[in-house]
Structure formats: C-alpha cells, structure tokens
Amino acid sequence: MARAALGWGVRDLASAAKVSPDTIARLERGETLYARTIDAIRAALEVAGVEFIAENGGGPGVRLRKATT
C-alpha cells in the first residue's frame, strides 16, 4: 500500500532502499526477509513521506505525511 500511495513501481522502491527489485517482490509476496532489509525498505518509504500507523483496533496501515508549508 505504501508503494502504491507514492506512485512508485517496484524498481523505484528498490532503488530508494538500495535493494534488488526481487527483494521487493519477495516482501510483497510475504516471504521472510532479514530485519535489516525490512528496516532499509521502511526507512526509504518514511523518507519519501509515508507514515506507518500502528494497529489500533482497525489493523495496521499507512498514510502519506501531510505536506508542511
């Protein structure tokens, strides 16, 4: 969901996170990845403006950070 919210393709996220496109595909299929790989992907998404929302009864989610003016 986060990648789609940014309008990024698999290669865009892979480049930003400095991982291979195959790694992003594995993540999206739900395969197990190293914690440091997940951290790199999450960090890349956060730098791009994604906020991760903790599960609060409705399940975890993501949203785009509001633009600061």
* This prediction's pTM: 0.84
| Residue recorded with tokens 């400095």 | 18
Residue 69 lies in a domain: no
Digit-coded pLDDT (tens) for 3-44: 988 999 999 999 999 999 999 999 999 999 999 999 999 999
CATH value at residue 8: 1.10.260.40
Q: Is residue 52 part of a domain?
A: yes
- Per the structure, how many domains does the chain have? 1
pLDDT at 68 over 80: no
Range of the domain at 55: 2-64
Residue 32 to residue 42: CA distance in whole angstroms: 15
Question: Is 49 among the domain residues?
Answer: yes
